Amino acid sequence: MPLAVIEPRRLYQHVADRLRQLIDRGEYSVGSRLPAERELAKALGVSRPTIREALIALEVEGRLKIRVGSGIYVMALPPSAARPAQEPIEGPFEVLRARAFVESAIAEEVARRATDADIARIDAVLAELDAKPLTRERWIAIDRRFHIAIVATLNNAVLTRTIGELFDQRINPYFERLARYVVNASTHLAAHKEHVAIRDAVAARDPERARAAMHEHLKRSHRRYAKDFGEQPQPLAMKAQNGVRVRV
């Protein structure tokens, strides 16, 4: 019998499996609230971003409901619930880390090569923010054009395609669901200011500053997506059970 290839699984998928098992076994009944993200991260020995990616995956399946300011609740699984993704989906934080690594190096090189025409092209994208209304979909389009305008300065089709594909990961169902909770007018404004800082560093032909500005932008994006949902403290005591802290 031929051996089947064992597909590597991302950590958040293992965490989602663990929580799914606890829900299926009745450790968390329908309508009950899960421990806060920090509690889950500590109990499972993983980072909060990994917990958040697992929770988002379970919400997409219909097993959980995230209520900002209240907590994460177990839902009755409807017949039409989404099945767990068979193909591995990159988590939002994995994508942002990859972008920070690649685009920071690109921004550094862009600052060395940018011409006045390149700066003008970047400025034209930034100016699009002035048009109204600025819907979430329109902001994503402008955001994408800005990052493509930066890399296009290098005139390298492979890099341009790579950045476009990395950016487009944000339309996967997990990234989309998480964005509903954290993306708003204030985050658009903050990101725009960071774009301007990148543009100014490139226009100054300062490679080190451009690299730092791009890295800071994507680090701040990571923080925005990791912002606490605002769960209220659990009123009941907790104890360790099956590797996860549960209410008693």
Residues 139-179: pLDDT tens digits? 999 999 999 999 999 999 999 999 999 999 887 888 888 88
133 plus 163 within the same structural domain: yes
218 plus 99 within the same structural domain: yes
Number of H helices, E strands in the chain: 10, 4
Q: Residue 1 domain-assigned?
A: no
What are the residues facing 74 on neighbouring strands?
64
CA pair distance 163, 98, nearest whole angstrom: 10
The answer to whether 59 and 65 are in contact (CB under 8 A) is yes
Residue 197: exposure state from Cβ atoms within 10 A (0-12, 13-18, ≥19): middle
CA pair distance 89, 2, nearest whole angstrom: 27
pLDDT tens for residues 8-51?
468 888 999 999 999 989 889 999 999 988 899 999 999 888 99
Q: Residue 6 domain-assigned?
A: no
135 plus 106 within the same structural domain: yes
- Residue 192 three-state SS: helix
Number of domains in the chain: 2
**Tell me, what CATH number does 35's domain have?**
1.10.10.10
Residue 241 has pLDDT above 80, yes or no: no
Residue 229: pLDDT band (50, 70, 90) is low
49 plus 37 within the same structural domain: yes
Residue 224 has pLDDT above 80, yes or no: yes
235 plus 204 within the same structural domain: no
The answer to whether 151 and 163 are in contact (CB under 8 A) is yes
The residue type of 163 is: I
Domain that holds residue 132: 92-225
The answer to whether 185 and 134 are in contact (CB under 8 A) is yes
193 plus 106 within the same structural domain: yes
What's the confidence (pLDDT) of residue 235?
42
Q: Dihedrals φ, ψ of 202, to 5°?
A: -65, -45
135 plus 196 within the same structural domain: yes
81 plus 202 within the same structural domain: no
Q: Residue 21 domain-assigned?
A: yes
DSSP code string of 31-79: TPBPPPHHHHHHHHT--HHHHHHHHHHHHHHTSEEEETTTEEEE----T
80 plus 96 within the same structural domain: no
**Tell me, what CATH number does 219's domain have?**
1.20.120.530
pLDDT tens for residues 107-123?
999 999 999 999 999 99
What does each C-alpha distance from 224 to 36, 89, 144, 166, 228 come to in angstroms?
18, 20, 18, 18, 9
Q: Residue 190 domain-assigned?
A: yes
109 plus 180 within the same structural domain: yes
Q: Dihedrals φ, ψ of 74, to 5°?
A: -80, 135
pTM of the model: 0.74
